[in-house]
Structure 1
Amino acid sequence: MPKPHFSLKRALIFLVMTLLLLSLAAVGAGVAWLRMPLSLPADKVDFVIDEGTTMRGIAHQMREAGIAVPPDALVAYARLTGVDRRIKAGGYEVARGESLWTLLKRLSRGDVTQREITIIEGWNFRQIRAALRRHPDVRQTLEGVDDATVAAMIGASTSHPEGLFFPDTYLFAVGSSDIDILRRAYRAQQRELAEIWEQRDAELPLGSPYEALILASIVEKETGMEADRRRIAGVFVNRLRVGMPLQTDPAVIYGLGEVFDGNLRRRDLRADTPWNTYTRRGLPPTPIANPGRASLLAAVQPEKHKYLYFVSRGDGTSAFSETLERHNRYVARYQLGRGKANPPSPAQPSPQAESSTQAEAVQP
């Protein structure tokens, strides 16, 4: 009986050694094949590996991108060497002349291809969505998805996503989805807002960080010169304190939506919408744009003064006044006095519309 047992043991050892030698031979052959230049349809090819994709799925995505690789051989090699357990998700780029060996090392390191997109201070959400749609390296997933659903997808507590995205330049891997970029911008805005809210003036007539965000969005749209930012915020804070309508034209324009043709008319100021700060007192129900850090800080740390009015001088700066009488003189000088042959109507402010440029501004 012992001899058969001994023979069986030797046979098993022989089988294992044979398989090991065959595996090593396969690896050696594979290394030579892996170092051959890849066949590509262009000088550079991008492809995306989604989270959780199997090695066979990765091989399929590479072939779909035009990278000529034999899937079975690639999968076998990756499993044998353990490469399949180290590959990281993201967007990658392969250039003509590179080998699969080089590419696999890049996939293992997670050297994703970086692209960037910039959200501009003062953009509204419609403009952000348009920029995401135009970017050739952003994977589109929000076609036909309404704003309320987008707000839910990013985890917002409000159904209106306006103002929730921090203006900044965001780097991303080729093939990242539009909703992933929005989630990052949303989290960045939440961090900024939470930090800045802690720095607010103790006497600020705002009840929540969201109200500060609304005011900051107005300040963002109203400011033509950085030096005026906190002073403009102070005007709106003073109006909130005494119960005056904010009378800010950018909010009216926002309420008009896509029907606004660039020409704000007197009838627009009288057409009631939730964002018409001529017909309704207090803050509008939502932000009207996406404010940057400077406007957020101005909203919670406004300049302390007695001004209730301001009007554009036409050079980016504003003229401030405490009384309606003086304000009307500034309107006549800086607004009505321009181009005497065809002076603009008071109800037709410049594109960077200023608060209470109208001669009919309400007194406290």
Structure 2
Amino acid sequence: MNLTAQSHSIPLSDGNRIPLLGLGTYGDPRTTPKDTALECVKLAIDVGYRHFDGALVYFNEHEVGQAIREKIADGTVKREDIFYCGKLWNTFHPPELVRPALERTLKALKLDYVDLYIVELPMAFKPGNEFYPKDQHGKYIYHHTDLCATWEALEHCKDAGLVKSLGVSNFNRRQLELLLNKPGLKHKPVSNQVECHPYFTQPKLLEYCRQHDIVIVGYCPIGSSRDASWVNVKCPPLLEDELLVSIGKKYNKSSAQVALRFNVQRGVVVIPKSFSPERITHNFQIFDFSLTEEEMKAIESLNKNIRFVELLMWSDHPEYPFHDEY
């Protein structure tokens, strides 16, 4: 696979393509200054990024869309050069809410279509104006999940031209099989966005997805923030790993660049999130070196099967995906 900064996209099973390196755009809406995403996405496009991963619940799609539109207007890119992934949130699983949710994303972006739209989590929450609905005791209010009915509504969105490709996120094997075996399946999921990095290499899920022509998109590809409210901080910091650091020294690269290159080289899409101009630039510099077969195997053997993102606050949901082995 000859990957370059200009050309590093891989085919999806529906005939579309996805760049192997993208920019994650999540930032805590309570602490991220206004226009941060706007400036960072514009910078990223100038650096060479063409893939952006966003979501309605990030509360910044209007900024991401503005950045993309400004860069189209100034002639840096065309719309078809950009790959945008949006996400269907848990409160919009009932079929009649799927298209309105996607239309909210399109309205925020001020774009006619998104390239990929994915079911963010296989767990439905009570529909309504609250994204995180809770009862008077502070307990999350769940909703019955019919993933097949939700998927059918997504298929209609694709047929209507609002989205080019459909995928899922945080689905385990059983949940993927539910969709793949759905009677009358029209558009199969082309991707599954899951946590994936050298400490959590996802060998079984990766193999299963390869067999079914589903691309793995890896979030937290260089570990994650140490935010104890949603991250398992007992995990050792990935970027301090001795092997990653020593391989990095050989190529004059950082452990982060080695971790990103590792996944990209095995066909896993990576979407490192950063709002630091230095790191955005740094994370893109992974196309001027490649790891040997021995190095790839050595990094694979770092797998500890530990998740940074466990989402334990929802572990009592009937469709919580992480109870299964994969």
Q: So what's the TM-score if we normalise by structure 2?
A: 0.22
Q: By percentage of residues, which structure has more helix? A: 1
User: Radius of gyration: which is bigger?
Assistant: 1
Q: Higher relative contact order at CA 8 Å, sep ≥6: structure 1 or structure 2?
A: 2
Larger strand share, 1 or 2: 2
